[in-house]
Amino acid sequence: MPNNQNRREFLQHIGTLSVAAGTGSVLPFFSQDKTAKKSFVSVKQGRVLKIFNGQVITPYRTIKDGTIIAVDGVITEVREGNIDVPNAEVIDAQGRYIAPGFVDLHVHGGGDHDFLDGDVHAFLKAAECHARHGTTSMYPTALSGDVDTLLENLDIYEEANRQNDFGAQFQGIFLEGPYYSMEQRGAQDPRYIRDPDPEEYKKILSHSPAIKRWDSAPEREGALEFARYLVSQGVLPSMGHTGAIYDEVLTGFENGYTLATHLYSGMLGVTRRDAYRYAGAVESAFLIDEMSVEIIADGKHLPAPLLKLIYKIKGPDRIALVTDAMRGAGMPEGNSILGPRNDGLEVIIEDGVAKLPDRASFAGSVATTDRLVRTMISLADVPLTEAVRMMTATPAAIMNINDKKGSLVAGKDADIVIFDDDILVEKTIINGNVIYSR
């Protein structure tokens, strides 16, 4: 169940008045008398969008015949029935679902572009690719690598963010590594795996305010000090590529590691040391009720039984669906490259996932956010509204952007996706602007 604070927020927003943020106009909230076919809203100024005749997914219910009004990119009203709004841009959802825009916490690229390609164009085109699949907010993700190259990419991100008018919004950078377990590094370059270095990470953090999350294995020497420093700087520490056991994970959690990166992937499960068994990071994430997890719900990295298990134990308010997508997302099957185009690893995309050329193991996700929602419904038997929550409200709350993102509530940004029963995206809307239309 949603917590009381969220419920109070929702009830407040559906009260007797809705204020059009930034315009100073007041929109009356009309009775939901089902005998009344239409109401009337007068908007004196501002750019107005009206979306009607759809199934609106709110935090607490689905409005079967719903309407959303946004003024200057901010939602001002969510309600049942049609409303006359003079001079509005009007979108007829034609009975489709109207949901919050999808929020992807962990993504490396898409549309044959990677965020480490070293140019603004790659950022913009990857953002456009994912917007076509319903993503409205994303956190471009960088792998372990050379510090100077990382600093250059942070500068490229800043410029791309200024130019990004046609793709999913950038909400900040997620640094995946290099303070990892060598044994659980996955596709991370072993040349760069090391303990956290205060001089190094303070230099990186001082270079750009764009860094919003940073991953580490909590068992590494200096990892607890690193997490505390991140928290002091307003950056979220997350636990990933780790060989930690329960005591180490619990201590890490108490020092700030409140999110587990792609649960099961790059993460130690139950293990033996001598004659004794120990709970690994996977079991620890389950045992610590307050720890959130992200999962690559593409149906390949995690099979249906594990998706069901995670959902049963953690629930939709502690699970964020993530693509962890490489450049092959949104591309046809065939040859591709994992990592930077100029010196990345050759891979093959087939069966909905990237594989090493010898097909011995996976080499990255090619998922898009619409596919994640579809998979949770079809493979994990999760209700549509809960699958959407794990792709919207939960990731927004994890990253503390839920004051503006993640739900269709008056006062929040008009980031909206319209899709059909098969989760095929019809339109993607960011700040009240139609970014994609099928």
- Please return the burial class of 76, using the count of CB atoms within 10 Å of its CB with bins 0-12, 13-18 and 19+: buried
Distance from C-alpha of 250 to C-alpha of 287, rounded to nearest angstrom: 9
- Structural element, H or E, at residue 15: none
Residue 278 burial by CB count (10 A; 0-12/13-18/19+): exposed, middle or buried? middle
| Count of alpha carbons within 13 angstroms of residue 19, beta-carbon side | 5
CA-based torsion, 133, 137, 143, 147: positive or negative: positive
Strand partners, 231: none
Start and end residues for every CATH 3.20.20.140 domain found in the chain:
102-398
3-state class (DSSP) for residue 271 = strand
Write the class of the CATH domain 4-100+408-437: mainly beta
Q: Are strands 62-71 and 48-57 parallel, antiparallel or unpaired?
A: antiparallel
Q: What torsion, rounded to 10 degrees, do the Cα atoms 73, 74, 80, 82 define? A: -40
Question: Which pTM value belongs to this model?
Answer: 0.89
Residue 254 has φ and ψ, to the nearest 5°, of -65, -20
Containing H/E element for 234? none
Q: How far apart are CA 17 and CA 29, in angstroms?
A: 6
Which residues is 102 bridged to in the sheet? Answer: 135
Q: What is the pLDDT of residue 90?
A: 97
**102-398, what's its fold?**
TIM Barrel (3.20.20)
Question: Do residues 307 and 376 make contact, with C-beta atoms less than 8 angstroms apart?
Answer: yes
- The answer to whether the CB of 331 falls within 8 A of the CB of 366 is yes
| Rounded-to-integer distance, Cα 372 and Cα 318, Å | 16
Q: What is the pLDDT along the chain (438 residues), one digit of tens a residue?
A: 445 445 444 444 433 233 233 333 323 332 333 333 344 454 445 899 999 999 999 998 999 999 999 999 999 999 999 989 999 999 999 999 999 999 999 999 999 999 999 999 999 999 999 999 999 999 999 877 788 889 999 999 999 999 999 999 999 999 998 998 767 777 667 777 889 999 999 999 999 999 999 999 999 999 999 999 999 999 999 999 999 999 999 999 999 999 999 999 989 898 888 889 999 999 999 999 999 999 999 999 999 999 999 999 999 999 999 999 999 999 999 999 988 888 888 999 999 999 988 888 888 899 999 999 999 999 999 999 999 999 999 999 999 999 999 999 999 999 999 999 999 999 999 999 999 999
| Burial class of residue 232 (count of CB atoms within 10 Å of its CB; 0-12, 13-18, 19+) | exposed
How crowded is residue 271: how many other Cβ atoms within 10 Å of its Cβ?
14
The C-alpha atoms of residue 182 and residue 220 are separated, in whole angstroms, by 10
Structure-token pair, residue 341: 């185009």
For residue 315, the tally of other CB atoms under 10 A from its CB is 15
Report the pLDDT value the prediction gives residue 312, as an integer from 0 to 100.
98
Numbered ranges of CATH 2.30.40.10 in the chain: 4-100+408-437
